[in-house]
Amino acid sequence: MDLPTRLPRAAPRSFAARRSPVRRSPEPRLLEQAVHLSYPGMWKQGSTEIGTMNHTRTIDLYEEGHLAAVPTLQPRTNLAATAGGTVALGGRLRKTWIGVMPLLCCLLFPAAVRCVMAGEALGPGDHTRVVTSGRHTRSYLVHIPPDYTHEQATPVVLAFHGAGINASAMVLLSGLNKKADEGGFIAVYPNGTGLANLVLTWNAGGLPEGISERKPDDVAFVAALLDDLATAVHVDARRVYATGMSNGGMMCYRLAAGLAERIAAIAPVCGTLAIDPWKPCRPMPVMHFHGTADRLVPFDGPNELVPKFLVFKSVEETMRICAAANGCAGKPKKTRLPDTVDDGTSVVRSAYAPCREGAEVVLFTVEGGGHTWPGQPPPNQFLGKSTKDIAANDLMWEFFCRHSLE
């Protein structure tokens, strides 16, 4: 893959010039020595090997778009990027293993102008970070609201994209950044794994055992992500929440079972339980949104249109399992909400209560709704209708504010 060869002239001119060890003429002006990092696989410049498995390298960004990878004795660490422009790599740099693509995405991501040492405090705005989980190098996006200060612990909402897209698409699809600015929380968009950091999925369950075992441990990745995030922002560890779309919603349920000691509540959208059994180590508040006309994750569970190898629960079974796990008594109380917009949809709220330790299980059934995010315009007609009678972002944030870890 040939990469762009120009770099914006945005850095201060006070950095000392040095010669790139990869491209020796002409001598470019060093913009900054960006980061010490570790990565799997092998970098090559043409036929010349310039990096090997698990070695640490320093990335230097030069005026003419050159990138140099040179050995260093600095300790291994992670990579982060701050907002404000673009970074391009020069010299037809190629990678022999797809596992490094999240790193390239960090350097090439439109919000990134420079890479900084992990652990550097982040301020308001949009950032891209890279973290190592197991043998995989993974990336995630961070949106920090304008009123954030490092002196005050701030809640975090993890937003997991659906299958076949990535974190950048999830930012647009969910519109969650606007709510983050209003509510004063940090919105975090992790990237799954897959093809070229673009067509990604989550190991959320529902796959044949042989396939699932070969996929990365995404619960461990989220744990590593939260550890890394806490080095850069002041996280309120009692108020970390998860939402997600479709396969990302399924990931919320898996996370609730596998990381309940760090996730205070979940609010999946269009994604049901895909693991069995589901037994969080404590009562887990759940708010779920789902359309009755969802063709990708059908309301009643897999049908003839769903690939036979995919297994997941229906919405009603998912809610019954959540209610039982949370010790909720009786049948749900159903309330039909006002149909305020003539958009071909209507909404019914079903609430299971009371539940143990103040937990809640709440379902918003969007009658006529498709595979969409309530309150947000659908990206295409194939996904179906998106209701304007409710806004998932408003409702889930109100829900999250009622729950925190002890």
What is the C-alpha separation between 206 and 314, in angstroms, rounded? 12
Range of the domain at 352: 121-401
Token reading at 83: 């907002």
Token reading at 197: 């950091």
Q: What is residue 188's predicted lDDT score, i.e. its pLDDT?
A: 98
User: Maximum Cα–Cα distance for the chain, whole Å?
Assistant: 76
- Quick one: three-class SS letters along 208-224? CHHHHHHCCCHHHHHHH
What is the C-alpha separation between 269 and 246, in angstroms, rounded? 6
pLDDT of 80 above 60: no
226-250: average pLDDT = 98
The per-residue pLDDT for range 334-387, each reduced to its tens digit, is 999 999 999 999 999 999 989 999 999 999 999 999 999 999 999 899 999 999
User: 160, 256 in Cβ contact below 8 A?
Assistant: no
276-293: average pLDDT = 97
Q: Tell me, yes or no, whether 266 lies in a domain.
A: yes
Q: Tell me, yes or no, whether 13 lies in a domain.
A: no
The single residue listed with the structure tokens 């954030």 is 148
41-62: average pLDDT = 32
Residue 7's pLDDT band, with cuts at 50, 70 and 90, is: very low
Q: How far is CA 226 from CA 155, 222, 321, in A?
A: 12, 6, 27
End-to-end distance of the chain based on CA atoms, in angstroms?
49
Number of structural domains (the chain) is 1
What is the C-alpha separation between 159 and 172, in angstroms, rounded? 12
Q: Tell me, yes or no, whether 281 lies in a domain.
A: yes
Q: Tell me, yes or no, whether 172 lies in a domain.
A: yes
pLDDT of 86 above 60: no
pLDDT of 233 above 50: yes
Q: What is residue 138's predicted lDDT score, i.e. its pLDDT?
A: 95
Q: Tell me, yes or no, whether 383 lies in a domain.
A: yes
Token reading at 5: 């060869």
Cβ burial of 282 (10 Å; 0-12, 13-18, 19+) is middle
Lowest mean pLDDT of 114-118, 178-182, 362-366, name the range: 114-118
DSSP H or E stretch at residue 236: strand 235-245
pLDDT of 68 above 60: no
pLDDT of 113 above 60: no
Q: How far is CA 113 from the centre of its chain?
A: 21
User: 120, 15 in Cβ contact below 8 A?
Assistant: no
CATH code of the domain covering residue 191: 3.40.50.1820
Q: Tell me, yes or no, whether 237 lies in a domain.
A: yes
85-89: average pLDDT = 26
Q: Per DSSP, which regions of 4-135 are E strands? A: 30-38, 43-45, 48-51, 56-62, 67-71, 79-82, 93-95, 114-117, 125-133
User: 225, 190 in Cβ contact below 8 A?
Assistant: yes
Residue type, 402: R
Residues 6+ away with beta carbon under 8 Å from 374? 269, 289, 347, 364, 366, 386, 387, 389, 390, 391, 392, 395
Q: Tell me, yes or no, whether 74 lies in a domain.
A: no
The per-residue pLDDT for range 209-224, each reduced to its tens digit, is 777 677 899 999 999 9
Strands 333-336 and 346-352: antiparallel
Residue 119's pLDDT band, with cuts at 50, 70 and 90, is: low
User: 207, 244 in Cβ contact below 8 A?
Assistant: no
Q: Tell me, yes or no, whether 255 lies in a domain.
A: yes
What is the C-alpha separation between 12 and 329, in angstroms, rounded? 63
